[in-house]
Chains A and B, each alone.
Chain A
Amino acid sequence: MVISSLVVETTPDATEAAAVALAGFEGVEVHDIHGYKVVVTIEAETLDESHDIAAAFIAVPGVTNINLIYVNFEDDPTVNPACGAASEAADASSDRGAR
């Protein structure tokens, strides 16, 4: 499982609605709102999927910028094939991020 965190910037009038919309993405969890900034995490199988989800944020009304803060990819089998099966088992029993 690839875990990343981002600060998503919005227009001030759209922050709350954008946060709700962001939380609707698969693997995305909204953790906090600071002014016009929304703190989110993405959990996905691979870096590619994580990027795909983050890139889609730009289509959310009011979103102006997407800043990546942290990404951990030690369990991405496309980057580290050795981690494959073990991490899949761990992922199956883990708390997948809130929808």
Chain B
Amino acid sequence: MDLSRRTFVKATAVALASAAATGTLSTLVGCAQPSTNATDSATSQVSGTTTTVGVCRFCGCGCGVLVESKDGRLVSVTGDPDNGSNLGLNCIKGYYLGKILYGEDRLTTPLIRDDSSTKGTTEGLREATWDEALDLVAENLKSTWKNDKSRLAFWGSGQQPIVEGYCTSKFWKAGLLSNNIDPNARLCMASAVVGFMNVFQTDEPAGCYHDIDETDVFVTWGANMAEAHPILYSRVEARKLADPDVRHYDLSTLYTRTSANADKVLIFNPGSDLAIANAIANYLVENELYDKDFVADHLQFKQGTENIGNSFEDGYDASDIGSKVDAVEPITFEQYAERLKPYTFEYASEISGVPAKDIQELAEVFAEPDTKILSLWTMGVNQHNRGTWMNHNIYNIHLLTGKIAQPGNGPFSLTGQPTACGTAREVGTFSHRLPADLLVAQEPHRRYTEAIWNLPEGYLDDIQKPGYHTVKMFREMSNGNLDFLWSAHNNWAVSMPNLTRFLGKGDKTGIMDAFIVVSEVYPTLSTQYANVVLPAAMWVEREGQFGNGERRTAVFEKAVDPPGDAKWDLWMLMEVAKRVLDGETIGGNDAFDTLFGEWYDKDAADFKGTPREVSRAIWEEYRTFSNPDLNEKAAAINKENKLKMEAKQLAPYDEYIDNHGLTWPVREVNGTWLPTLWRFSDGNQEDGFDEYGVEQYGDHGKANGVSFYKSADKKPSVVFRPYEPPAEMPDGDYPFYLCTGRLLEHWHTGSMTRRVEELDRALPEALLDINPADCEKLGIQDGDMVTVTSRYGQFNIKASTAGRTSPPEGVVFAPFFAEETLVNLAVHEIYCPLSKEPDFKKTCVNITKA
């Protein structure tokens, strides 16, 4: 960098940060980087560099960035002030958004394993051509499909960009007529999804990140935002600094960095959050401190199947009780009140270990009629053997008090991955879903999908039964009942629970026989079990789209080419689909061309257009699901069956680029597409309210100015959910709860962040955080290696009494990023019976000095 360039760069750095500090960054960036062609791209070119719009891919916040490239390489990253999710701020992981592309061990050529006995080692993979690799993948997928399609599966991700997730789901569900497709979002968001669907009959929060800036009280439930959602936590702290009266209650099973700045920390016994929430609801009802108008206008009450046991056995879902877990029945408000009565503060205190006065204090806060409260939760609530129930219990409190869907007021489920919402949930890459909240089990939903996918009526009836959810998929593979697995954008060999079983280290060795395909950017533990590794283009080496936790869809543009022979995942999918569907027909027409012919030329083995044009074409088909008027047949089905598909309305593709992301539903008003910040909330669309949704399907003049138009009878459900204990309780053999989670430096399994020397040095190894009193009882010292053993497996790890978290006696914590420690060898795969999301927080273990 010469001096003039250096001076320019430094001046830019200072000006941008000063502007960010004063809230004028948007103006400055807008002046510095004018768009050259707003109708086609947000790309701009200044001083020999090209700037494109991007979205950070390191956590669930969905922060916007501006990516500058020069001579085919990235040279700078700036927080995007025009992305409403982060307003120009990034956390320090942003240093590595550029560097992460340039690791020395990037996968740049396809790899094939000829000898399956080498699985689980670093040996056995050889280089191959794309044709050889794709032929081998397609041959195995097709033979499995023709033989027994129950024996194939795809495991995707909340990091799989939207158009790829859409095409993968379409290939699996319409091309292969298989529902054996599920995302890793099953491990983090499924309980939230089922909670949303049960309560509101529509997925994703009513509110948005802007609520953080307006609330009076934060309540964090099982959420270590300081480490897992740093930019949002920064916003929480900013709000607290701006108004000293703002309060923060942190409910957790252990002290975290988030607890450190809370006004009050309620440390509860694992699983007892159900009882605490019910005690708060009981207080509100018993003392008539709920919002009576809101209850009368908006709510219906239910109770569901109880004493539902746990999924210890592989056949749990089909068991007598397992098949009844979704059942609910209506009850009256009085019956609901009666069910709550046992949950006194004293009873909740007895179960939870939290002083009754602290629970009462929080209940009294919820009872303050004019106080705005924002509940935020993540994996402590979702990865829970009653995760769906706990989601219900938080909603119950907010619904009873009417604190929902208004600025600063709301229950807000945070996401763990950049597009868990955009792809896994909105596209519907789950084993039971179709796009836009539609379900395979519902006939009108299948008809609607057939109309948009141009399939013969009744074609999707073959997939009306949901396929394997994630744990079922891996259980069946370990049992030898899966012959083909393709995974992309994830690292299951580190992130799945019960790896002793799933990696074939016990008596179930199905993983060795299954044909496994892994699409990846770097070698991982999962590639060590792959028969074929497909090298993928990464992040801004291709165009993609993420949808974050506040319903914001954003596009990241291609900035540079991928290295070597690495390819766009979408190209791999098209090439495999082309081979597998060769000779197949749908309604008398070529199957591949029916599904993908609009954007892919199978004879040329290439897309029909640029990545932008291809993404736009796929998006336009996808967004028809939420714009039924774009398809006459779909519009008729929508109207006849009252599907209300416009409730999730998406805008034309280029609007997301020009606007640096938009939160759905997006409404066209006088030729301008306007986002919605507060769903169901009546008010001007220009101000972020859901004017057109309420107008089309809801009612004006209801309590608190909201109308839940997507819910049955326009009334969300308050469902009574009791306290039921964890799947395992500590005993003499296994006296500790093991809780696992994420820490700031490393994202998920560390497959990207551990390649960054400095991040790895900052957090080089996984430590077992343990209470000093427990150390003393066990005769171990800080820094000793210990063996952690559960009923499922064991691992060795260094004990620490000065780690990031401070567990109470009887609880230990370990992060899951380190493959050399592999804590999931010991974590059980018991899941919430409703959402099928595993409980990573409460495996019972014993600890001995190694």
Bound pair (A, B): yes
With A1-B1, A74-B70, A80-B73 known as contacts, the answer to whether A47 contacts B99 (CB < 8 A) is: yes
Chain A interface residue number, banded: 35 or more
Q: Does B88 have its Cβ within 8 Å of any Cβ on chain A? A: yes
Q: Which residues of chain B are within 8 angstroms of A4 by Cβ–Cβ distance?
A: 13, 95
Contact between chains at A9 and B10 (CB < 8 Å):
no
Contact between chains at A1 and B234 (CB < 8 Å):
no
Q: Which of B113-121, B567-575, B752-760, B823-831 contacts A (4 or more CB under 8 A)?
A: B752-760
Q: Per-residue 0/1 for B72-101: is the Cβ within 8 Å of any A Cβ (1 yes, 0 no)? A: 011111110000000011111011101100
A47 interface neighbour in B2, B10, B88, B95, Cβ under 8 Å? B95
A94 interface neighbour in B6, B92, B95, Cβ under 8 Å? B6
Contact between chains at A69 and B95 (CB < 8 Å):
no
Contact between chains at A3 and B89 (CB < 8 Å):
no
With A34-B21, A50-B95 known as contacts, the answer to whether A69 contacts B79 (CB < 8 A) is: yes
| Interface positions of A from 36 to 69, Cβ below 8 Å from B | 36-37, 39-41, 43, 47-52, 54-55, 64-69
Q: Does B327 have its Cβ within 8 Å of any Cβ on chain A? A: no
**Listed residue (B1, B17, B230) with the most chain A CB atoms within 10 angstroms of its CB:** B17
Q: Which residues of chain A are within 8 angstroms of B1 by Cβ–Cβ distance?
A: 1, 74-75, 83, 87, 90
CB distance from A4 to the nearest CB of B (A): 6
Q: Does B18 have its Cβ within 8 Å of any Cβ on chain A? A: yes
Q: Which residues of chain B are within 8 angstroms of A51 by Cβ–Cβ distance?
A: 92, 95-96, 756, 758-759
Q: Which residues of chain A are within 8 angstroms of B261 by Cβ–Cβ distance?
A: 64
Contact between chains at A71 and B95 (CB < 8 Å):
yes
With A34-B22, A39-B21, A68-B92 known as contacts, the answer to whether A52 contacts B758 (CB < 8 A) is: yes
Q: Does B12 have its Cβ within 8 Å of any Cβ on chain A? A: yes
B92 interface neighbour in A37, A66, A83, Cβ under 8 Å? A66
With A32-B21, A40-B17, A78-B99 known as contacts, the answer to whether A70 contacts B3 (CB < 8 A) is: no
A54 to B75, CA, bound (A): 19
Q: Does A79 have its Cβ within 8 Å of any Cβ on chain B? A: yes
A5 to B91, CA, bound (A): 12
Q: Which residues of B contact A (CB under 8 A)?
A: 1-3, 6, 9-10, 12-14, 16-18, 20-22, 25, 68, 70, 73-79, 88-92, 94-96, 98-99, 102, 230-231, 233-234, 237-238, 241, 261, 756-759, 761-762
CB distance from B438 to the nearest CB of A (A): 39
Contact between chains at B95 and A70 (CB < 8 Å):
no
CB distance from A58 to the nearest CB of B (A): 9
A90 to B10, CA, bound (A): 14
What is the chain B residue whose CB lies nearest that of A72?
Answer: B76
Q: Does A12 have its Cβ within 8 Å of any Cβ on chain B? A: yes
A65 interface neighbour in B16, B20, B237, B758, Cβ under 8 Å? B237
Contact between chains at A69 and B20 (CB < 8 Å):
yes
Contact between chains at A48 and B17 (CB < 8 Å):
no
Q: Does A19 have its Cβ within 8 Å of any Cβ on chain B? A: no
Contact between chains at A94 and B3 (CB < 8 Å):
yes
A-B interface, 7 closest residue pairs, ranked by CB to CB distance from nearest? A5-B17, A74-B75, A48-B758, A5-B13, A72-B76, A34-B21, A67-B89
Q: A55-B758, A71-B94, A73-B75 are in contact. List 5 more A-B contacts (CB 8 A).
A: A11-B241, A70-B78, A70-B79, A71-B98, A94-B6
Q: Which residues of chain B are within 8 angstroms of A23 by Cβ–Cβ distance?
A: none
A12 interface neighbour in B13, B14, B241, Cβ under 8 Å? B241
Q: Does A31 have its Cβ within 8 Å of any Cβ on chain B? A: yes
CB distance from A66 to the nearest CB of B (A): 6
Contact between chains at B6 and A67 (CB < 8 Å):
no
With A51-B96, A71-B76, A74-B1 known as contacts, the answer to whether A41 contacts B20 (CB < 8 A) is: no
CB distance from B62 to the nearest CB of A (A): 16
A66 to B757, CA, bound (A): 20
A47 to B420, CA, bound (A): 29
Q: Which residues of chain A are within 8 angstroms of B77 by Cβ–Cβ distance?
A: 70-71
A5 to B78, CA, bound (A): 9
A3 to B14, CA, bound (A): 10
Q: Which residues of chain B are within 8 angstroms of A49 by Cβ–Cβ distance?
A: 758
What is the chain B residue whose CB lies nearest that of A74?
Answer: B75
CB distance from A26 to the nearest CB of B (A): 15
CB pairs A–B below 8 angstroms (27 shown): A3-B9, A7-B21, A9-B237, A11-B241, A34-B18, A34-B22, A37-B21, A47-B758, A50-B95, A52-B761, A54-B92, A64-B237, A64-B241, A65-B230, A65-B233, A65-B237, A68-B89, A68-B94, A69-B78, A70-B17, A70-B77, A70-B78, A71-B76, A72-B75, A78-B99, A90-B3, A93-B3
Contact between chains at B95 and A41 (CB < 8 Å):
no
With A7-B17, A39-B18, A70-B77 known as contacts, the answer to whether A55 contacts B2 (CB < 8 A) is: no
Contact between chains at A68 and B79 (CB < 8 Å):
yes
A11 to B96, CA, bound (A): 27
A63 to B73, CA, bound (A): 34
What is the chain B residue whose CB lies nearest that of A6?
Answer: B17
Contact between chains at A69 and B241 (CB < 8 Å):
no
B14 interface neighbour in A1, A31, A76, A79, Cβ under 8 Å? A31
A41 to B10, CA, bound (A): 8
A65 to B758, CA, bound (A): 19
CB distance from A84 to the nearest CB of B (A): 12
Q: Which residues of chain A are within 8 angstroms of B96 by Cβ–Cβ distance?
A: 47, 51
Contact between chains at B241 and A36 (CB < 8 Å):
yes
CB distance from A52 to the nearest CB of B (A): 5
Contact between chains at B25 and A69 (CB < 8 Å):
yes
What is the chain A residue whose CB lies nearest that of B49?
Answer: A74
A37 to B761, CA, bound (A): 28
Q: Which residues of chain A are within 8 angstroms of B22 by Cβ–Cβ distance?
A: 34
CB distance from B5 to the nearest CB of A (A): 8
A54 to B96, CA, bound (A): 13
Contact between chains at A73 and B76 (CB < 8 Å):
yes
With A31-B18, A34-B22 known as contacts, the answer to whether A41 contacts B98 (CB < 8 A) is: no
CB distance from A76 to the nearest CB of B (A): 8
Q: Which residues of chain A are within 8 angstroms of B75 by Cβ–Cβ distance?
A: 72-74, 80
A68 to B20, CA, bound (A): 10
Q: Which residues of chain A are within 8 angstroms of B230 by Cβ–Cβ distance?
A: 65
Q: Which residues of chain A are within 8 angstroms of B25 by Cβ–Cβ distance?
A: 69
A69 to B234, CA, bound (A): 14
A65 to B238, CA, bound (A): 9
A97 to B9, CA, bound (A): 13
With A47-B95, A71-B76, A90-B2 known as contacts, the answer to whether A3 contacts B10 (CB < 8 A) is: yes
A9 to B761, CA, bound (A): 25
**Listed residue (A70, A76, A78) with the most chain B CB atoms within 10 angstroms of its CB:** A70
With A3-B13, A64-B241, A69-B89 known as contacts, the answer to whether A48 contacts B757 (CB < 8 A) is: yes
A32 to B78, CA, bound (A): 19
